[in-house]
Structure 1
Amino acid sequence: MNTKRMSVNPRIIEHLGSDLITSSSVAIVELIKNSIDAKSKKVHVQLFDYVDKIIDNNQLLIKLDQNVMELIKANAENAKILLVEDIGIGMNDNQLENGFLNIGTDIKFNNHDDNEAFLGEKGIGRLATQRLGKKLILETASKACDRSKAVIIDWKNLIESERIDNIELPYYEFDKVGESYTRLWIIGIEKNEIINEPEQIELFNETNVSLNDELQAATCYLVSPFKNSKNEVEISFYNNGIKINTDFDTELLDFAESKNYFEVIKEDEKIVINLKLELTPMFIEKTHRYCIKPVTYFPKYRKSKDDYISLFKKYRQRYNTTLNLHVSYEEIVNKLKEKRKKVYSDVKDQKELDIYLKQQVKNDLNELRGILPITGCAYNFKQDNAIGKMYVDFIKYLKENTNGRINDYSVSDIQNFLNQYSGIKLYRNSYRIGALGNRDDDWLEMQQYRTSGQQFYRINQSNTVGYVSINDPLQVNIREISSRLDIVQNNASKIFKEVIIYIFNYYFYDFNRSADDITKSILQDEGLLQDDIKKEVKIGKKRVIN
């Protein structure tokens, strides 16, 4: 028997880097993830127009070694530079050679502590640097080593070589300038892929620079802004030494008219779902406005803010009772069974089909046990100018009457917030999974469901900001594809998506419809609808006549 050998062309670097990593934003976020995995509590991402800006810079986490500076000067020429710097554990000789310089290594998996979350995927970090620039100078030091290390990668030379393992990379050792750290000097970047920079910056004032929308949203959502995290990391961006504002304004979440919550947990060894919808007094005023026809008549019927607040308090228990739901294991099985049954309409023996599908669903639900608890929340907004103005006024009124801090928000602030941050993001514990859940990523099939039934009650992705979080710190069950635009399709991910899609498009739909019905009923009970008022006027006239 004769044999053949497989070989790997160095162009695989390009295919896995610039061709597969879809944007600079995805690449930069991947590098930040690696810094978080290195246990760094600070990550600085800096852009420089030329080398002298590095020398003048005072935002470095670790002082700059003169030898490294000479390497940058020799390789940068007039190219723009991106620096990703952390003060994590750094890399020792083994981690550098068998980790960073070994494409597809599993060293991160093997060297990781039990039950300790990590974000980056094997091999993607160095490929992200190839997506961003032409050359890389990696500078790193670890506690275990007496010296720092630097290696230079010229991606063009590497890709055009005959064999990837024949290329000898320039390697240096220097005196350490810090206990442990890693710096990635990425040379030859395209700044316009990363930041929005005015063509002419007045008097060289660079404070008007901002991250591009995709990177801004991806960075704000990398560590969940919705809940406190013990592992919170400070991520800062700079342009030529001047800080770029990347804050996520959590106060704008106050303008949501309602919040949908859910949790998928194990109870008595069975999977169950708890759901609730939280409303605000603003929801009552909005519904009241919708009930008055034509809307130009609403000012005549409109009540004061205190009246709506009082109504909300008066009927809070009614809302809480109706808008809280416990879904048993048996109900989950039956709901999913009936949903799946729709594609088997031509099967004659429906009883046998029921038995088969029920067992199939039970088997699939077992796959969820490895990622429980699953939790989520959706903040629901309205972008309509009139409703938005109503909510701005309402929040301002509430703040004034509770001695809260009042920011001068406008409807356009809410609209801009939603344009940039809308969508349901997917998290592994407190950390974002890839780019899943961007405003244009309909992974929950919301638009598909909006084309059927009453759209008014369905969650609109462009008007919603929220998250779904799974418990899978070691990426055993849910893993991202290399481009970070989706998760790997397996049994766990399939049933996970099926359950979450059902929650958002069925249970939340029913909740929103019930909230609307309850509120209309309350308004009617209180005599605040047009028909009720007309009747009262007629009764009053009769009394006067009599």
Structure 2
Amino acid sequence: MAKVHFRTNVELKSIIGKDLITDDNIAVLELVKNSFDAGSKKVDVIFESVIPKIDVKSYKRKNNSKIIISDQGKGMSNFDIENKWLNIAYSEKKEKKEEYGRTLAGNKGVGRFSCDRLGKFLTIYTKQENSENFIRLSIDWELFEKKDDINFNIQDVEFDLFEISSIEFQSETNIGSFQSGTVLMISSLREIWSYDKILDLKRQLEKLINPNQSFKSSKFDINIIASEFKEQEKKKGENEKINGLVKNQIFEKLDFKVTSIQAKITRDGKFIISILKDRGNSIFTLIEKNPFYLLKNVKTHIYYLNPYSKAYFRKQTGIRSVDFGSISLFINGFRIPPYGDFGDDWLGMESRKGQGRTRFLGTREVIGRIEVKDNDDIALDEENDVFKIISSRAGIVNNEIFSQLAKSTDPYGFYYRIFRRLERFVVEGIKWDSVAERNYSKLEKEVLNPRWDESKEKYVEDSLSRNKRVYSVVHNIIDTRKDDLIRLKINQDFVSNLINEQKQKIDKELETITNQINQSHLSPEELSDFIERLESSNKELEDFNNKVGGGETTKTLKGDLEAKIEFLSKQKAELESKLKEEEEQRRTAEEEQKRIQEELELERDKNTYLLSTKRNMSEDAKGLIHNVKQTSKRSKQNAQSLYDAFVQDNVKKNQALKLLSTIIYNSEKALKISNLITRANFKANQDYQDVNIVKFLEQYLDLYNVIYDDNEINFVLESNVESFWKRISILDISLIIDDLISNSDKAHAKSVKIILEEDKDSNLIMIFTDDGDGLLHKFEKNSEVIFELGITTTDGSGIGLNYVRRTLAKMQGKIRFLGNNKFLKGASFEIVISKSYK
């Protein structure tokens, strides 16, 4: 029987090196963590010759660029290099949890192969405190890259280990000598390190270490040196610079008021202690049993950021909260990337928010961290009971302990148990803390202004309403079984402040109402409004007292409110009684005035004709008188013609009858108009009735054809409309036609035509046209003046067309001059009468 064993092929180097750690930033972070574990107080990350001067393809084949990681930790001896550093997967940190007052970061034994990820060559310089010389080890990683050679093992590649003097060290590295420490010189870099790439690395280094968790007594500084970019850096803002000390961005607390929850599982794992804070005020402290048996010594800090908080965060840190990330995970003080990076949803918050955007918080609304410290009492072979960092350094293994920490479905893990309380508080308690300004870019710009102060903040809801609801939902958001609850303490200062806010609001309301009462005479309605406001405040106080309490403070306030309500109610009753008496007196006076007015109207109807003069005559009366004059004039002309015929003994029976009938018609018409003017029969003649205007015009023009001889004026009606009903006064429409025909007669017309049609809105269009002399040239360019009172186109009074326009307006009609020679050669007018039934 033959004995066999595993062999380590040379390709193992790539598997645990450049192929395992695929992120350059993570590779640098691993090397920096090694400097931290070595007890160094500072590490320099130096970039040299990284700006390419050749094409990218040639650059990646061969270049002289370097990344140098230099620390002043404990250094290594020949034994350490040969038996530890070159011993793959060995790490003394697996057994040694702390050293130099720090919790050690690494324990895999493969982080050193990050050097392979970064460059093709590595030179190590190291020195311990008790040694005079430096040790140098040079590695060409390409020596391991012999594929398909089954017999070539990783240990077949040998290196020379040299001791060099301090002078030689300084000459080769341009780095000053030190008592102890290690320098990793990685050369012929595999990637181009641009300004932005180094800046991205700086962002990762800013969040690498949690100072609140990892240090006991000493600090650790990270310094970036990239001299080639110093000129370019001058144009950048402070937060965009890459050279210099890396400022740790893991905050112990935010320097502004914010809504947050902090929770921790005690060292013994028995209890969870949670504290919820809102705008700097503690709301409650909760102590409950810990149901997560694998979790001990775990903490979480979660901050909800409203638009103001996001702007303050940028003001404090120099970067936007969304670019900073969300919830990071720290194990033994070191952040586990990519958890918490922008776009990483390791806790499933974004997936969950997609199910209800108004009910759930996402990674854009919260920032924070989870802090985990190794449990020393857990056996190393219990794989499910410890947090295991993936060898590629991209997260941790999803085992049972991770599930107890981060499970996002019922039964929830520790994080979601705490996070959901904050979430319910934000959604139900403070209603997302909505701000009045919806333009968030404008809001951020205002906050970043150095002259900004918190008093300028404007929220949708006032502080009192918000805080009362906060108090009312506290018990709902805790959501813990009664058997698990150890203690719940509501912050009494918060309650006291709430009582004071309520008191100040009611005091202000009382003061405002008192001042308004003292400064003016109030109506019963105004007093009722004040009483309603006070009763509303009283009801609000009762509700407040039932929910929150308030002791003597609210009792005194309630007494003041009720006294004021009683006083105002009494004032209101007295005022209403007085106003009722005044109303009776006013009604009696109005009735007497009405009686006298009616008597006066009756007397006026009897004497109107005698009292009327042109000076106090109405515009309607003036229009009617104009028609009387025209009618009388026509009667006179006809009578004169008949008289002349008799004198000359030239009387024809038919002509005489026609002239007499015209005189009779005009006399009756003048009588009707006279009755209107004297108002003796005004109401009867003015009555409106439903009239088919088309039929009326047919009959009316037939009458005119009878009055006038054929050789005088011929009247024609041309209609495309069968009927057009309108509620109007027949007298009004008669007088309108009379006035227009009178004007045609004066213009020596021999033919008058009325054309009827409907427009697209079913309004009646009436074209009145004649073959007379037309409108005088001086009026053609400004024809509107002919409708003004007193403007005449002949030798008349200037009343006719003005009366026509006003009369048409009463029947929802209008008139305009179209021009001369439009239809017949004389003047043409367009009348539009609305189809509206009135």
Aligned to 1:90: 75
Match of 1:512 among 426, 442, 454: 426
Please state whether the residue corresponding to 1:131 is helix, strand or coil: helix
Deviation digits for residues 76-119 of structure 1 (CA, Å, limit 9, x no counterpart): 98410000000000001121111111111133435665895211
Deviation digits for residues 273-314 of structure 1 (CA, Å, limit 9, x no counterpart): 222222228xxxxxxxxxxxxxxxxxxxxxxxxxxxxxxxxx
Aligned to 1:401: none
Match of 2:367 among 453, 462, 465: 465
Q: How many Å separate the matches in 2 of 1:490 and 1:484?
A: 16
Please state whether the residue corresponding to 2:189 is helix, strand or coil: coil
Match of 1:483 among 374, 392, 395: 392
Match of 2:304 among 380, 392, 407: 380
Deviation digits for residues 319-374 of structure 1 (CA, Å, limit 9, x no counterpart): x44x4333334xx4xxxxxxxxxxxxxxxxxxxxxxxxxxxxxxxx3322xxx221
- TM-score, normalising length from structure 1? 0.64
Q: Tell me the CA shift for residue 247 of structure 1.
A: 2.7
Q: Tell me the CA shift for residue 519 of structure 1.
A: 6.5
2:126·2:181 contact (CA, 8 Å) conserved in 1? yes
2:360·2:423 contact (CA, 8 Å) conserved in 1? yes
Aligned to 2:126: 140
2:118·2:191 contact (CA, 8 Å) conserved in 1? no
1:256·1:379 contact (CA, 8 Å) conserved in 2? no
Q: Tell me the CA shift for residue 419 of structure 1.
A: 3.2
Match of 1:418 among 321, 325, 332: 321
Aligned to 1:171: 161
Cα separation, partners in 2 of 1:366 and 1:112, compared to 1, 3 Å: closer
Please state whether the residue corresponding to 1:254 is helix, strand or coil: coil
Aligned to 1:366: 293
Deviation digits for residues 468-508 of structure 1 (CA, Å, limit 9, x no counterpart): 11121879622311111221344333323333342244222
The one-letter code of the counterpart of 1:175 is S
Deviation digits for residues 169-198 of structure 1 (CA, Å, limit 9, x no counterpart): 132111244321100000012564x5425x
Cα separation, partners in 2 of 1:113 and 1:542, compared to 1, 3 Å: closer
Deviation digits for residues 134-163 of structure 1 (CA, Å, limit 9, x no counterpart): 100011011243421111111011232722
Deviation digits for residues 217-236 of structure 1 (CA, Å, limit 9, x no counterpart): 32111112667943431001
1:480·1:486 contact (CA, 8 Å) conserved in 2? yes
1:449·1:505 contact (CA, 8 Å) conserved in 2? no
Please state whether the residue corresponding to 2:204 is helix, strand or coil: helix
Q: Structure 2 matches for 1:252-331, cutoff 5 A?
A: 253-254=254-255, 257-265=258-266, 271-280=270-279, 320-321=282-283, 323-329=284-290
Cα separation, partners in 2 of 1:6 and 1:257, compared to 1, 3 Å: same
1:255·1:391 contact (CA, 8 Å) conserved in 2? no
Q: Tell me the CA shift for residue 248 of structure 1.
A: 4.7
Aligned to 1:398: none
Q: Structure 2 matches for 1:94-173, cutoff 5 A?
A: 94-110=79-95, 117-160=103-146, 162-173=152-163
Number of aligned positions between the proteins: 403
Cα separation, partners in 2 of 1:375 and 1:139, compared to 1, 3 Å: same
The one-letter code of the counterpart of 1:464 is V
Aligned to 1:35: 35
Cα separation, partners in 2 of 1:541 and 1:408, compared to 1, 3 Å: farther
1:44·1:85 contact (CA, 8 Å) conserved in 2? yes
The one-letter code of the counterpart of 1:507 is R
1:436·1:484 contact (CA, 8 Å) conserved in 2? no
Q: Tell me the CA shift for residue 378 of structure 1.
A: 1.6
Q: How many Å separate the matches in 1 of 2:29 and 2:525?
A: 67
Q: How many Å separate the matches in 1 of 2:45 and 2:358?
A: 43
Cα separation, partners in 2 of 1:211 and 1:378, compared to 1, 3 Å: farther
Q: How many Å separate the matches in 2 of 1:13 and 1:154?
A: 12
Aligned to 2:19: 19
Q: Tell me the CA shift for residue 265 of structure 1.
A: 1.7
Cα separation, partners in 2 of 1:220 and 1:140, compared to 1, 3 Å: same
Please state whether the residue corresponding to 2:134 is helix, strand or coil: strand
Q: Tell me the CA shift for residue 256 of structure 1.
A: 6.3
1:98·1:107 contact (CA, 8 Å) conserved in 2? no
The one-letter code of the counterpart of 2:364 is S
1:264·1:272 contact (CA, 8 Å) conserved in 2? yes
Deviation digits for residues 29-84 of structure 1 (CA, Å, limit 9, x no counterpart): 00000000000000000000079xxxxxxxxxxxxxxxxxxxxxxxx984100000
Aligned to 2:543: none
The one-letter code of the counterpart of 1:220 is E
1:35·1:43 contact (CA, 8 Å) conserved in 2? yes
CA-based RMSD:
3.8
Cα separation, partners in 2 of 1:225 and 1:519, compared to 1, 3 Å: farther
Q: Which of structures 1 and 2 has the larger relative contact order (alpha carbons within 8 angstroms, sep 6+)?
A: 1
Please state whether the residue corresponding to 1:377 is helix, strand or coil: strand
Is 1:196 the equivalent of 2:157?
Answer: no
Aligned to 1:180: 180
Percent of aligned positions with the same letter in both sequences?
22
Please state whether the residue corresponding to 2:255 is helix, strand or coil: helix
Q: How many Å separate the matches in 1 of 2:125 and 2:63?
A: 21
Deviation digits for residues 6-49 of structure 1 (CA, Å, limit 9, x no counterpart): 32221111122111112110000000000000000000000000
Aligned to 1:494: 403
Aligned to 1:224: 210
2:207·2:335 contact (CA, 8 Å) conserved in 1? yes
Cα separation, partners in 2 of 1:110 and 1:96, compared to 1, 3 Å: farther
2:62·2:188 contact (CA, 8 Å) conserved in 1? no
Q: Tell me the CA shift for residue 428 of structure 1.
A: 2.5
Aligned to 2:712: none
Q: How many Å separate the matches in 2 of 1:515 and 1:172?
A: 68
Please state whether the residue corresponding to 2:393 is helix, strand or coil: coil
Q: Tell me the CA shift for residue 262 of structure 1.
A: 1.0
Aligned to 2:348: 445
Cα separation, partners in 2 of 1:179 and 1:248, compared to 1, 3 Å: closer
1:217·1:420 contact (CA, 8 Å) conserved in 2? no
Match of 1:238 among 218, 225, 234: 225
Aligned to 2:6: 6
Cα separation, partners in 2 of 1:366 and 1:219, compared to 1, 3 Å: same
Q: How many Å separate the matches in 2 of 1:12 and 1:254?
A: 49
Q: How many Å separate the matches in 2 of 1:226 and 1:421?
A: 19
Cα separation, partners in 2 of 1:29 and 1:105, compared to 1, 3 Å: same
Q: How many Å separate the matches in 2 of 1:506 and 1:408?
A: 26
The one-letter code of the counterpart of 1:168 is E
Q: How many Å separate the matches in 1 of 2:314 and 2:163?
A: 54
